Structure 1
Amino acid sequence: MSPGLKIRAARAEDAAFVALLIYLSMDSLADHLFNQEPGSMQALLEKLVARNAGRFGYKHAFVAEVDGQKAGLLVAVQGVDLNRLALATIPHLIAVLGLTRAIGIIWRTVKLPGEREAENDELYISNIGVLPSMQGQSLGSQLLAYAEGLALEHRLMKCSLIVGWHNTDARRLYERVGYRVVETVKDEKEDHGYYRMVKAL
């Protein structure tokens, strides 16, 4: 790890930062799923993170700090837990958005292309991101290495993630550290197509 870099478990008081980095890492997909204006999207995510809402819960997040300043985020879960966490998110969506809007989110999620995001024997990197002002310091690579350590702690021998077709910089980073494309998921509109990538540890 670089000097001055610390990666720690996220806390409830990190909700605003975690929400911002989740939003940045999801790109336009967040706005599509939640059908929100960009400005209100972060506020919504912050509420979900603070509530520890299933997949959006801070308990699955890790914050990278450089010299005490928050700089990056990793959200990682065991593949076997994905369905349980997705279901656990629903009551929080209803509480924050109301039933009608929550149903809309669930419907748009179900209609996304592809099937499973991860297999049961993988550690799934749901979100990874670095503040734009902190990029270029290998923080992304170090967060990926941290995820590998988490996988091994859980006796998992693979890490996986998905990356949008158009995010070529991120895909190159993942390939450079050993991830390989195992599935290409096409989207009729080509807005939300992605590559599923896996690294054997």
Structure 2
Amino acid sequence: MIRPATPNDAPVAVPLLFLAMEEIARKISGTNDMQVVTHIFEHLFREPGNQYSFENTLIYESDNGVSGMIIGYDGGKLHQLRKPVLDYIRWQTGAGVCPEDETQPGEFYLDSIAVAPGNQGKGIGGQLINAAVERAAGEGIPKAGLLVSTDNPAAQRLYERMGFQVEYTIPFAGGRYHHLVKKLQTA
């Protein structure tokens, strides 16, 4: 079952989030101390109004518990949603490295997608992407976008099978990423 996240999902959602972006989380937090990084991202997940908030998260939950998550939001709100993240990190660690913009207005950005090991290959990621894309279409946003590392061709093939196409390649947080988009049938 796919459901909206709640603040109480932080202890299970944040480790999943780190499957998708642990290296980036360390970079923007300015520390390799995973206790500190985990504290930061659990706090952000519980708080409304930021890009890693429960408000932007869908959870995949089965009888075995939470096994997947996706974070997505209106790309036109990136700077508004990123500011509380960087402000909180600066307050906690003095860091708060601002990565390049990975999305833009007119796009529903799929920020982070993760499925727990042992549950991968069961279609959970695809179901989460479809649910987020439906949410975007319902909000009238004309396309969905995401980044995939140029070093991850298997994930790129999955996204392409789902109708996403490479639009361009960008540097992001020290890596190189393809920016893929999918045009949506809006309500």
Match of 1:37 in 2: 32
What residue ranges of structure 2 are gaps of 5+ in the alignment? none
How far did residue 72 of structure 1 move? 0.4
Q: Does structure 1 residue 51 correspond to structure 2 residue 17?
A: no
Question: Secondary structure in 1 aligned to 2:118?
Answer: helix
Q: Offset of 1:47 from its aligned partner?
A: 2.2
AA aligned to 2:115 is: V
Higher helix share: 1
Once the two structures are superposed, the pairs formed by residues 1-201 of structure 1 within 5 Å of their partners are 6-37=1-32, 39-40=34-35, 41-52=37-48, 54-67=50-63, 69-95=65-91, 97=92, 101-102=93-94, 104-105=95-96, 108-109=97-98, 112=99, 114=100, 116-186=101-171, 191-201=174-184
**C-alpha displacement of 1:31:** 1.8
Amino acid at match of 2:61: E
TM-score normalised by the chain length of structure 1 = 0.82
Contact 2:29 2:89 in 1 (8 A): no
Distance 1:16 1:136, change over 3 A: same
Kept after mapping to 2: 8 A contact 1:51/1:92: no
- Spell out structure 1 runs of 4+ moving beyond 3 A: none
Could you tell me whether the CA contact under 8 Å between 1:79 and 1:119 is conserved in 2? Answer: yes
Using the size of structure 2 for normalisation, the TM-score is: 0.88
Give 5+ residue unaligned stretches, structure 1.
1-5
Aligned mates of 1:168, 1:38 — CA distance in 2: 30
Give the CA RMSD over aligned residues.
Answer: 2.0
- How far did 1:68 drift? 5.8
Q: Secondary structure at the match of 2:175?
A: coil
Contact 1:61 1:76 in 2 (8 A): yes
